[in-house]
Amino acid sequence: MATSVSDSASIPVDVVVIGGGPGGYVAAIRAAQLGLSTVCVEMDKTLGGTCVNVGCIPSKALLTSSEHYDFAQHAAATHGIGIGSLTLDLPTMLQRKNEVVAQNTRGIEFLFKKNKIMWAKGRGTLKAGNVVDVHAVGATGASHEKIASYQAKDVIIATGSVSIELPFLKFDEKRVLSNIGALAIPQVPKHLIVIGGGVIGLELGSVWKRLGADVTVIELMPTILPGMDADVIKEADRTLRKQGLDIRTSTRVSNGGLTESGAFVEVEHDGKNERLEGDHVLVSVGRRPATTGIDAAALGLNLGKRGEILVDDQMRTNLPHVYAIGDCVPGPMLAHKAEEEGVIAAEVIAGKKSHMHYKSIPNVVYTWPEIASVGLTEQQLKDSGRAYKTGRFPFSANGRARSLGDATGFVKFVADAKTDEILGAHMIGPNVSELIAEVVLGLEYRASADDIGETVHAHPTLSEVTKEAALATLGRALQI
């Protein structure tokens, strides 16, 4: 039984981090490394936040398992491998996913112990004067008695984000699913309806399609993956349709609800109405900043139009000694972006001259083929009026890709027309989530296409496609 704490019993500490997701736990670790006494307040039963528990990590575990299953079904024979009678043990697959998550959460707990970080298990509430109260959280998620209180010299808010609901499709995680429920469907659905053709919708839709479900993806915008490079979108759309995803763009969901055996949605496209029924509906129309435990109005904390906490390039809010990072501040909602912001906040608190910049943050979609991008798209450069040039090279002309039996896609560069400085790179193909790192480093150092094109890449590797695409930007690709 937790013991309640009086208002006068605040424990002095250097830094309190509210939230133990990727941004929060990394901020706590960096602060501790810098010699600051650090407390991380997290109300979930495990550390790691959405990413580790119900996002990045479990989805990648299922993506990998479903890719193996799909390979066994459709590609093993071409390698001379006979599978025989193939079966799917979904409970074992889901259990493996859970074990992968557990390994990661235990790893974070180990890092906290190693760095002498206190994990305050409860819901954190920020009060005036940088006092953070911690309340016990019941089984229903309601706050109970106060179990601790900390007087912080500096506070880092890392409260993350939550999935956006549709007013007529409230999450029950049984039939109407967010990413949480979509990672734990107990049996392969006959028909899964996915609302939203962005990263989450396409990744989780791909998982269940490979495992045998019919999957319909409904996207309001004219294309899937809005905001990405147009050439990549075109290739992704073609490939995912070929894999069997029923993709419906420029389609609006006007209504939805439950049926006796599942759920339905009503959609509009080109003036025509249609009712679709499925076992489950995955609503993946975006996420919004969460500010649990932060009464912005009472504190005088400045927020943006979406409820995001406004910060400068050192992650400072308008409140003295209060910082904010991750999904609850402006910018892309990416775990690696949150981690870097956490490092910046901790270093600024420790007196270092760190600051955050966003031009070199990669974005990855873990469908197969994978999609990765960094920097500006060709359309953004067109709109800006800046003179640019492009170069691309296909995986179909790469020996390693051919030997893998997966030569779909390409690497594309956009560079300044005069200086050859790399302004962006956009990839779709095998393992591009790893290949993008080379270009991210190049952007950090303001590399030119020539810098990458003249760098020796091992042969035969997929990375040679990056080299050849850089050379193509200069008009001198060698292998095509």
pLDDT reading at 123 higher than 70: yes
Give 101-116 pLDDT, tens digit per residue: 999 999 999 999 999 9
Average pLDDT over residues 175-181: 98
* Per-residue pLDDT at 2: 43
18-32, 142-156, 365-379, 429-443: segment of lowest average pLDDT: 142-156
Q: Is the dihedral of CA 27, 32, 36, 40 positive or negative?
A: positive
Question: Which positions are catalytic?
Answer: 459
Give 312-327 pLDDT, tens digit per residue: 999 999 999 999 999 9
> Which tokens is 327 given?
């999904």
Express as a percent the part of the chain with pLDDT over 90: 96
Express as a percent the part of the chain with pLDDT over 70: 98
Give 468-479 pLDDT, tens digit per residue: 999 999 999 999
The contacts of residue 43 (CB under 8 Å, 6+ apart) are 121, 122, 123, 124, 137, 292
**93: nearest Cα among 54, 55, 65, 56:** 65
pLDDT reading at 199 higher than 80: yes
> Which tokens is 440 given?
């991210």
**433: nearest Cα among 351, 367, 340:** 367
* Per-residue pLDDT at 8: 55
**359: nearest Cα among 430, 447, 419, 431:** 447
The model carries a pTM of 0.95
pLDDT reading at 234 higher than 50: yes
Q: How confident is the model at residue 144 (pLDDT cuts 50, 70, 90)?
A: confident
> Which tokens is 451 given?
């810098």
* Per-residue pLDDT at 3: 46
Give 352-362 pLDDT, tens digit per residue: 999 999 999 99
Q: How far is CA 215 from the centre of its chain?
A: 21
Average pLDDT over residues 63-88: 95
Residue type, 475: G
Average pLDDT of the chain to the nearest whole number: 96
Average pLDDT over residues 262-281: 97
Phi, psi of 239 (to 5 degrees): -70, -45
* Per-residue pLDDT at 140: 76
Average pLDDT over residues 126-155: 92
